[in-house]
Chain A
Amino acid sequence: MSSNKNDFYQEYEVFSKRSDTAAMQHQFSLLAPNEELALVLAQENFMRREPVADIWVVRRSAVRKMNYAEKQSLPRIDNKEYRNTKGYGYLKKKWRQYEQEMLDEKEILSWGGKMKK
């Protein structure tokens, strides 16, 4: 075996997004000798049949992953209605008393467009 055994095979994680507005998504990993080659190999290895708007390749060693014990820190109790609109559903009834519509998520997110007068 040559002295530089395995040097060619560096691990890269591949991320891509389907459109400009989509979020980056992890696809898979590949082996390549450097990031330039990793980048030109990424699309055809994992996104041959789907639209791609952007690709990132990240050296595996640059990723700080959670171990099994650390993943135990992720679950939480289902008692945080106060963080979500779910905890404020009663407002709809309240506003009705004042003959007003509730400003719910759908309504508020529509304000970016033309507002009905």
Chain B
Amino acid sequence: MNELLSTEEKRAVIELLYQLADDDFIISYRGSEWLGLAPHIEEDVAFSSISQDTMGHAAMYYQLLEELGEKDRDYLSHARKSNERKNAVLLELVNGEGHYLHEPRYDWAFTVVRHYYYSQAKKVKIESLKQSSYPPLAAAAVKISMELHYHLMHWTVWFTQLLNAGGEAKKRMLKAIAKVEAEFEDVLSLGPLSKEIVKAQLIEEESRLLLSFHANINAVFNDLSIPYKGEFTSLSGRGRFGEHTEDLSEALNTLGEVYHSDPGAVW
């Protein structure tokens, strides 16, 4: 399969795969920090399944990269430096104040909104990727879309119920929506090789993805009787271009702590 790709196409596939892999990997990592700290025991269990599924999706993309001649998947997920990462900045931001081991005051509203928006964006991309010209990626998209149904259903229930609850919950949710939208441009960006990615017909162009996203979200906001602005920025940086926050550096130190203690060892 790889032999059929031109050099330019191969570069584009690799670029897109890094974005997809790094997105799923880092948001799953943030999810894993919540383990044991969710608002409700039953939710803790369900949320962990979503984080596991999502890390599983990242592993599938890293595997495809490995098959394209990139390094092994544990290196790709654990050893790459912050400026080599292609994930959207929104997904690397901390869950809230504090550290997962010390005084975590994690923000459930931000977590619900971030996961809800991300799941919606992921759905738009996955639907497009099913038509990808690169068959291994199209095949992965078909598999991933199976599990994405549940993620979207789960986060939709939380998203709509907390907004419908009114009062303090609604206030917290609206604040979280503003925070997420301020970073969201990055999530639907295809990065510096967007032209090559689209030319190779790996995925639809950004503007098309964005239109589908707006259409899906708008319907939900209508039902909730909340105005949807749909104006996104990349406030803290453009992750697709390798711009990242201190939050990512700290996460990489933690998630690679044991790995880096002896990268050659079998763990």
Do A and B touch directly, given a CB cutoff of 8 Å in the complex? Answer: yes
Contact with A along B139-161 (1 / 0, CB 8 A): 00000000000100110011001
Q: Assuming A36-B161, A48-B49, is B150 touching A41 (CB within 8 A)?
A: no
Q: Are A36 and B46 in contact (CB under 8 A)?
A: no
Contacts of A44 in B (CB 8 A): 45-46, 48-49
Interface footprint category on A: 10 to 19
Q: Are A40 and B161 in contact (CB under 8 A)?
A: no
Which residue of A30, A34, A36, A48 is within 8 Å of B42 (Cβ)? A30
CA distance A48 to B154 in the complex (A): 15
Contact with A along B155-172 (1 / 0, CB 8 A): 001100100000000000
Interface membership of B43, Cβ < 8 A: yes
Interface membership of A37, Cβ < 8 A: yes
Contacts of A8 in B (CB 8 A): 40
Interface membership of A43, Cβ < 8 A: yes
Which residue of B42, B49, B150, B153 is within 8 Å of A31 (Cβ)? B42
Tell me the residues in window 6-30 of chain A with beta carbons closer than 8 Å to chain B beta carbons: 8, 30
Contacts of B161 in A (CB 8 A): 34, 36-37
Contacts of B158 in A (CB 8 A): 37
Q: Are A37 and B45 in contact (CB under 8 A)?
A: no
CA distance A45 to B43 in the complex (A): 9
CA distance A44 to B40 in the complex (A): 14
Q: Are A45 and B154 in contact (CB under 8 A)?
A: no
The minimal Cβ–Cβ distance linking B150 to chain A, given in whole angstroms, is 7
Contacts of A45 in B (CB 8 A): 42, 45-46
Which residue of A32, A34, A36, A43 is within 8 Å of B150 (Cβ)? A43
Contacts of B40 in A (CB 8 A): 8, 31-32
Q: Are B42 and A32 in contact (CB under 8 A)?
A: yes
Name which residue of chain B comes closest to A46, CB basis.
Answer: B45
Name which residue of chain A comes closest to B155, CB basis.
Answer: A40
CA distance A31 to B39 in the complex (A): 12
Q: Are A40 and B45 in contact (CB under 8 A)?
A: no
Contacts of A37 in B (CB 8 A): 157-158, 161
CA distance A8 to B41 in the complex (A): 12
Name which residue of chain B comes closest to A8, CB basis.
Answer: B40
Q: Are B43 and A41 in contact (CB under 8 A)?
A: yes
Contacts of B43 in A (CB 8 A): 41
Contact with A along B37-66 (1 / 0, CB 8 A): 000111101101100000000000000000
Known: A37-B157, A40-B150. 17 other contacts (CB 8 A): A8-B40, A30-B42, A31-B40, A34-B161, A36-B161, A37-B158, A37-B161, A40-B154, A40-B157, A41-B42, A41-B43, A43-B46, A43-B150, A44-B46, A44-B49, A45-B45, A45-B46
What are 12 A-B interface contacts by the 8 Å CB criterion?
A: A8-B40, A31-B42, A32-B40, A36-B157, A36-B161, A37-B157, A41-B45, A41-B46, A44-B45, A44-B49, A45-B42, A45-B45
- A→B interface (CB under 8 Å): 8, 30-32, 34, 36-37, 40-41, 43-45, 48
